[in-house]
Amino acid sequence: MFPTKGTAKDVHTPRICDVVWHNGEFIAWNDARVHVMSHVLHYGSSVFEGIRCYATKRGPAVFRLREHMQRFLNSAKIYRMDHDWKIDDLIDGSVELVRRSGLEQCYIRPILFRSLDEERPAFGVNPFPNPLACYIGAWDWGKYLGDEAIEKGVDVCVSTWNRLTPNSMPAMAKSGANYMNSQLIKMEALLNGYSEGIALDDRGYVSEGSGENIFVISNGVVNTPPLSSSILAGITRDSVIEICQELGITIKERSIQRAALYIADEVFFSGTAAEITPVRSVDKIPIGNGGRGELTEKIQKVFFEITSGERPAPGPWLTYVREQDARAADRESARATENGRGAAVKKSADSQTTPTMETELVARAAR
């Protein structure tokens, strides 16, 4: 669990979907290219999402797709990225992408960024002259912090890098620029022999990992930092909160001191990529029994039962790809049938037009 260097690939990627959704159309993966002078490459002007699709007995199911796409649109709004794409366009595009991929499970990545108008290029910091481009890709992705991490936990450190201050970069937006901060946290952790780093906010309170929210359990109470601690409002984080409420586990959003990590009974990460991953040590101090704790395991078990479709979710959390396709086909069939009926009625009406009626219609038109 202690990597010797940070240059290894973090997650094995066995298969990539060979098509990409681009501005409402599907193109080949190899054709999804960006000009090197695009605004996003020079100034980090992008927002994105990470969404998991799980294998279930009812086929592939995307986890909390609508909530992810709403956050995607919120991020774009914060950065004044005005566009015409609707949430249902993005949802339908994601579902169709998974269907075309043939993957039973995958990771979905929507991204919206400022590109380049090659006929009227603009190279300054001002983003407004640059056109927007939207893509959605998908690939089969394993456990972000390692396959055995889900059961055995990971060893982490408190980073020397702080999270962004609330009025410098908006942590509520999932933007590419924010993840330069995440990279500093992640690289430092890996090069010092840890799997992940925990960042503090500008006041010195616990914020989150480089790409995960954090939960700290003490005396049977599950605690998590509030939004004011410069955290991303995680969809998986929200899912954990709802699961705890359903299970009758006390959960509180409150500021957490660094020292509270060391004396906690249990600590775990949550996130789309990390899912629910226990933390077994912080700064080489064992947490609880030095492995996955009892409450973490209980929450984790319910989470995976929901994502596999074996347990009802607190809300409509799963979008079943094949059933979505079936409903879309039914709607299309119904429209075709209705259109057919309309054409038949019109034809019937036309055939019943008598010479007298025709004469009257011509007369009316003349008037």
Task: Give the active site residues.
Answer: 174
- Beta carbons within 10 angstroms of residue 135's beta carbon: 18
Which stretch of DSSP H or E encloses residue 182?
helix 178-191
Enter the DSSP assignment of 162. Answer: P
Output the CA angle 144-157-216, nearest 5 degrees: 80
| Separation of alpha carbons 342 and 155, rounded Å | 66
Beta bridge pairs of residue 160 = none
| Separation of alpha carbons 131 and 115, rounded Å | 5
Q: What are phi and psi of 309, to 5 degrees?
A: 80, 10
Number of continuous H segments (helices) and E segments (strands) in the chain: 10, 18
Q: What are phi and psi of 163, to 5 degrees?
A: -70, 160
Evaluate whether 86 touches 185 at the Cβ level (below 8 Å): no
